[in-house]
Amino acid sequence: MGPSLLIVDDEANFLVLLDRILSREDYQVTAARGADRAIHHLDRQTFDLAILDINMYPMGGVELLAEIKERSPSTQVVMVTAYPTDDTRDECVKLGAAGYLTKPIDISELKNVLRHLAGA
Closest CA to 110 of 55, 37, 53, 35: 53
Task: Supply the DSSP symbol for 55.
Answer: -
34-45 confidence digits (pLDDT tens): 999 999 999 999
48-97 confidence digits (pLDDT tens): 999 999 999 999 999 999 999 999 999 999 999 999 999 999 999 999 99
Interatomic CA distance for residues 6 and 8, integer angstroms: 6
Interatomic CA distance for residues 115 and 21, integer angstroms: 14
Identify the architecture of domain 4-118 in CATH.
3-Layer(aba) Sandwich (3.40)
Mean pLDDT throughout 97-107?
97
Bridge partners for 30 per DSSP: 6
At residue 4, does pLDDT exceed 90? Answer: yes
Element (H, E) at 6: strand 4-9
The pLDDT of residue 119 is: 87
Residue 34: phi and psi, rounded to 5, are 105, 160
